[in-house]
Amino acid sequence: MATIRDVAKTAGVSIATVSRVFNGSSAVNEETALQVWAAASALDYWPNGAARSLTTSRSSTLGVLLPDLFGDFFSEVIRGIDQLAKREKYQTLISGSHASVEDVLTATRAMRGRIDGLVMMAPDSITVESVTKIRRRLPVVLISPPFAVDGCSSVSIASFSGARAVVAHLVGLGHREIAMVAGPAGNVDAEERLRGYRRGLAEAGIQPRDELVVQGDFRESSGYAAAAALLDRRPRPTAVFAANDCMAIGLMSALGNAGLSVPQDVAVVGFDNIAIAQYMRPPLTTVHVDAYALGQKAVRLMLDTLSDPDGAKVTVQTIDVALKVRSSCGARPSTTADAYTGADTDQQR
Amino acid sequence: MATIRDVAKTAGVSIATVSRVFNGSSAVNEETALQVWAAASALDYWPNGAARSLTTSRSSTLGVLLPDLFGDFFSEVIRGIDQLAKREKYQTLISGSHASVEDVLTATRAMRGRIDGLVMMAPDSITVESVTKIRRRLPVVLISPPFAVDGCSSVSIASFSGARAVVAHLVGLGHREIAMVAGPAGNVDAEERLRGYRRGLAEAGIQPRDELVVQGDFRESSGYAAAAALLDRRPRPTAVFAANDCMAIGLMSALGNAGLSVPQDVAVVGFDNIAIAQYMRPPLTTVHVDAYALGQKAVRLMLDTLSDPDGAKVTVQTIDVALKVRSSCGARPSTTADAYTGADTDQQR
DNA sequence: GAGCGCCATGTAAACGGTTTCATAGTTTCA
DNA sequence: TGAAACTATGAAACCGTTTACATGGCGCTC
């Protein structure tokens, strides 16, 4: 493995000059630079990343921490992160499946000295203290955090208002018995969607009832399982709002197996608008969330934090969502404009 | 940021001792070790990764290169990679969306000195030369490579035999006019599936006809679009094999919109068995591919390569696939055992 | 009780870069 | 024409570790 010294020797210059050439810094005679490039290419040389970060104390790498969830939505988020990071010449050190606070701390420890900042989609069990602790040594941006942390920018999904809009829409279609398949307890977005569902009902003058809420875990199977429980309810719900599309899809499958048709017998609405939602039979009414943009915004906030000298600028963003009416809710799908909801706030403090 | 020197000073020992404590190496007096731990924890010290890799020339990090594809299948592969890597105390440096050979070389250059090995799901345009070049400096494991490379272990999907089994199954159900929605040209698995489709037809004494093959790109939309083309064919195909599930789902959606029912009017079969496949209406007959295992095997091969002193051991694996009969093909779904196909070869040379 | 070996620890040299500062050579300008 | 300013380059310190080697103390053995 050729080092900077080999290149220097081959090019007949000092290592300082080679370094300058590779960093495009200050003035190096053009002819000299060409010799250096030639030597480097002959030796297949490229600066060693570890050595470089050791002296510069910058790694051009972003750490990404993910919870144990996966699937279409999360892979879109990662794609957004990766692409913007790549465009900005950053690499991406990913670590998934963190269930506990201890897990997270271990992972960030292992990343020490290898990353310039941490984008964190934390597990539900994370605490303010642990994030604060990490923040002391490293810029941190949070995605859908359960709380605000001093010095951390964050970007969240307008889950509450999206869910409220879903209920309002269903009520507008005449539904009164609206059930919900909730997401995993503890998950912020799951809870916000549940809260929005309850608020939506209350605003329509309908008393939210706990027996109409079935617990799920964001996966298809739990949506499928939820159907059995809901079909037992009397009066039977005429509409079901699932906290994400995967569960909605599982639910629709179970309803079909039970001989019920969507939306005639039961209306179904999901959340996220994953790629397949529009290809379901019937096409799934859902709340569109731009997962790709979510990932991108997180990286953008991180870059802002990194370029901010004293780390004083903290931005708390919410990405907007939009009700996407298709057929599964029984409404005539609006082919053009979708009902808009949610806010794209961008506060600085 | 506390360094090893700060800890040494606080604990009243030399930096060598601190290093030894953190590496569990050789004998350190238990009492001394405790003092070091105490000092480290008081200063919130953890060894700097960059410095460590500089001296040891090991980074405990695996590079992962992905093409521009995404979705359920790929995120499962990544999950498999990440989880096994994590369990084996490796970190994962991911870089996605590589379209060209140049892209790949740039990415691997940027990783230089930061990774111990590279797991590569290369773009279709990759060449033997470029992989060979990378291999000269770094262990490389390939996923679904278009060719074998000296010194590189690889793991592939039994796409050919899976596709052949699909056709055999459809022929067994009485279909003769079997169309295919192919994957992107150049993609190895897409091409193997196409080849398996043709072979399957030939083995059944049916002449493969090019007008029954529609080009897709592995995404739902292309499956949707393919329907229009296929429904024009006379005689109309009675069965369609899509090269992956996403396209099959898009296809089914379009067929439904055209007033055709699956499987009565047209039988549909996919490939991959992504999570939602079983929740489709009708449930999608497909070829099961264990994407998670695929990722895991790649990492396992990498670990083997890394622990192999002279890098002589090269393993070429194929992960087996299995036809998963559900309703979309019109057969009575086998609830228990699935028809088995494909080989799990494990040759060493 | 001198010699030997072992154990715990310290000293210092890498590892491969970046960067500050010094220096020699070349302009520029009065 | 000589001082000043600038340009291109080199020498050397430093980044935070690991590790080969040196060292000193102690318990054994003969």
Domains along the sequence of chain B with CATH: 4-47 (no CATH), 61-157+291-320 (3.40.50.2300), 159-289+323-344 (3.40.50.2300)
Percent of chain B with pLDDT over 90: 80
Name the residue with tokens 């970060």.
A53
Please state whether strand D lies within 7 Å of residue A28 at its CB atom.
Answer: yes
**Spatial CB neighbours of A67, under 8 Å, sequence gap ≥ 6:** A96, A97, A98, A99, A121, A122, A123, A124
Is strand C in 7 Å reach of the CB of A34?
A: no
* Residue contact A109–B46, C-beta within 8 A: yes
Using a 10 angstrom Cβ sphere, with 0-12 exposed, 13-18 middle and 19 or more buried, the burial of residue B150 is exposed
Q: What is the pLDDT of residue A309?
A: 67
CB contact under 8 A, B91 and A109: no
CA A8 → C1' C29, Å?
A: 37
* The pLDDT value given to residue A334: 55
Residue A171, min C-alpha distance to chain B (Å):
27
Per-residue pLDDT at B347: 41
Q: Is the pLDDT reported for residue B58 higher than 70?
A: yes
Mean pLDDT of chain B: 91
Q: What is the pLDDT of residue B282?
A: 93
Question: For B200-217, what is the mean pLDDT?
Answer: 96
Q: What chain A residue is nearest to B110 in terms of C-alpha separation?
A: A49
Q: Is residue A299 within 8 Å of A85, Cβ to Cβ?
A: yes
Q: Residues B235-278: pLDDT tens digits?
A: 899 999 999 999 999 999 999 999 999 899 999 999 999 999 99
Give, in Å, how far the C1' of D8 lies from the CA of B101: 37
Rg of chain A on CA atoms, in Å: 25
- Cβ separation of A220 and B279 shorter than 8 Å? yes
pLDDT > 50? residue B182: yes
pLDDT at B68: 75
Asked if the Cβ–Cβ distance from B250 to A279 is below 8 Å, we say: yes
Distance between start and end Cα atoms, chain B = 49
Helix, strand, coil percentages (3-state) for chain B, rounded to 5, are 45, 15, 40
Q: How far B218 CA lies from chain A's nearest CA (Å)?
A: 12
**Separation between Cα atoms, residue A308 and residue B344, nearest integer Å:** 53
Nucleotide with minimal C1' distance from the CA of B112 is: C16
Q: Is A195 on the interface with B (CB under 8 A)?
A: no
Residue B54 beta carbon within 7 A of nucleic strand C: yes
Q: Kindly list the residues from chain A whose CB atom is less than 8 angstroms away from the CB atom of residue B279.
A: 220, 224, 249-250, 252-253
Q: What is the identity of the amino acid at A259?
A: G
**Closest nucleotide to A112, Cα to C1':** D16
Nearest nt to the A56 alpha carbon by C1': C18
Buried b (16+ CB within 10 A) or exposed e, B237-276: bbbbbbbbbbbbbbbbbbbbeeeeebbeebbbbbbbbbbb
Closest CB to B72 among A72, A136, A137: A72
Burial of residue B162 (number of CB atoms within 10 Å: 0-12, 13-18, 19+): buried
Using alpha carbons, list the distances in angstroms from residue A190 to A154, A166, A184, A275, B311.
18, 14, 6, 20, 49
Nearest-CA neighbor of A64 among A75, A54, A73?
A: A75
Whether residue B345 is predicted with pLDDT greater than 50 in this model: the reply is: no
Q: Residue B139: which of B61, B50, B52 has the closest Cα? A: B61
Put simply, whether B125 touches A (Cβ < 8 Å) is: no
Backbone φ and ψ for B295, nearest 5 degrees, come out as -65, -45
> According to the model, what pLDDT value does residue A344 have?
39
Q: Note whether B78 contacts A74, CB cutoff 8 Å.
A: no
| Chain A: residue whose CA lies nearest to B274 | A71
Q: How far apart are CA B200 and CA A331, in angstroms?
A: 45
User: Which residues of A spanning 57-116 put their CB closer than 7 angstroms to strand D?
Assistant: 57, 113
**Does residue A12 approach strand D to less than 7 Å at its CB?**
yes
Task: Check residue A41 and give its pLDDT.
Answer: 95
Amino acid code (one letter) for A197:
Y
Running along chain A, 349 residues long, what does each successive block of 10 average in pLDDT? 94 94 84 93 95 95 88 90 95 90 91 94 87 93 94 96 97 96 94 97 96 95 96 91 97 95 94 96 96 97 88 89 94 52 40
A58 in reach of chain B (CB within 8 A): no
Peptide bond into B145 cis (omega under 30): no
Please tell me what DSSP assigns to residue B338: P
* pLDDT above 70 for B75: yes
The average pLDDT across B3-20 equals 95
**SS3 (DSSP) at A16:** helix
Distance B54 CA to C24 C1' (A): 35
What confidence tens digit (pLDDT) does each residue in B283-340 have? 999 999 999 999 999 999 999 999 986 767 899 999 999 999 999 998 766 544 444 4
Check pLDDT > 90 for residue B97: no
Structure confidence at residue B349 (pLDDT): 37
E runs forming strands in chain B = 61-65, 91-95, 117-120, 140-143, 153-157, 178-182, 213-215, 239-242, 267-269, 286-289, 315-319, 321-324, 340-341, 346-348
As a whole number of Å, the CA-based R_g of chain B is 25
Interface membership of B258 toward A (CB under 8 Å): no
Contact A166, A338 (CB under 8 A): no
Rounded to the nearest angstrom, the gap between the alpha carbon of residue B135 and the centroid of all alpha carbons in its chain is: 20
What backbone phi and psi angles, to 5 degrees, belong to A76? Answer: -70, -40
Of A71, A75, A95, the CB nearest to B275: A71
**Rounded distance, CA A41 to CA B75, Å?**
36
Residue recorded with tokens 């903290």: A314
Q: Find residues 35-54 of chain A whose CB sits inside 8 Å of chain B.
A: 44, 46-54
pLDDT score at A333: 61
Please compute the mean of the pLDDT values over residues B217-228 and round it to a whole number.
96
A213 vs A201: CA distance, rounded Å: 13
| pLDDT attached to residue B70 | 76
Is residue A60 packed enough to be buried (19+ CB in 10 Å), middle (13-18) or exposed (0-12)?
middle
Q: For residue range B269-280, list pLDDT tens digits in order.
A: 999 999 999 999
From chain A, pick out residues whose CB is under 8 angstroms from the CB of B48: 54, 112-113
Question: Is A86 near chain B, with CB under 8 Å?
Answer: yes
- A54/B48 touch (CB, cutoff 8 Å), yes or no: yes
Q: What is the DSSP letter of B276?
A: G
Backbone phi, then psi, for A183, in 5-degree steps?
A: -85, 180
CB pairs under 8 A between A and B: 171
The length of chain A in residues reads: 349
pLDDT of residue B334: 55
Among B residues 153-172, those touching chain A with beta carbons less than 8 Å apart: none
The shares of helix, strand and coil residues in chain A, as percent rounded to the nearest 5, are 45, 15, 40
Q: For strand C, is any atom closer than 7 Å to the CB of A19?
A: yes
Residue nearest to nucleotide D15 (CA to C1'): A55
Q: Identify all chain B residues contacting A249, using CB atoms and an 8 Å cutoff.
A: 276, 279
- Enumerate the residues of chain B whose CB falls inside 8 A of the CB of residue A253: 278-281, 283
- A333 CB near a chain B CB, below 8 Å? no
DSSP β-bridge partners for residue B156:
B318
Chain A hits for B82, Cβ within 8 Å: 94-97
User: What pLDDT does A346 receive?
Assistant: 39
CA distance linking residue B148 with residue B151, whole number of Å = 9
Instruction: For residue A20, give the nucleotide whose C1' atom is nearest its CA.
Output: C18
Which residue in A270, A206, A265 sits closest to A243, CA to CA? A270
Cis preceding linkage at B235, omega within 30: yes
Which strand (E) or helix (H) includes residue A240? Answer: strand A239-242
CA-based end-to-end distance of chain A: 49
Residues A71, B75: C-beta atoms closer than 8 Å: yes
A230 touches strand C (CB under 7 A): no
User: B279 near A220, Cβ under 8 Å?
Assistant: yes
Assigned token pair, B209: 């006809």
Cα A328 from Cα A282, distance rounded (Å): 5
Beta bridge partners of A340: A322
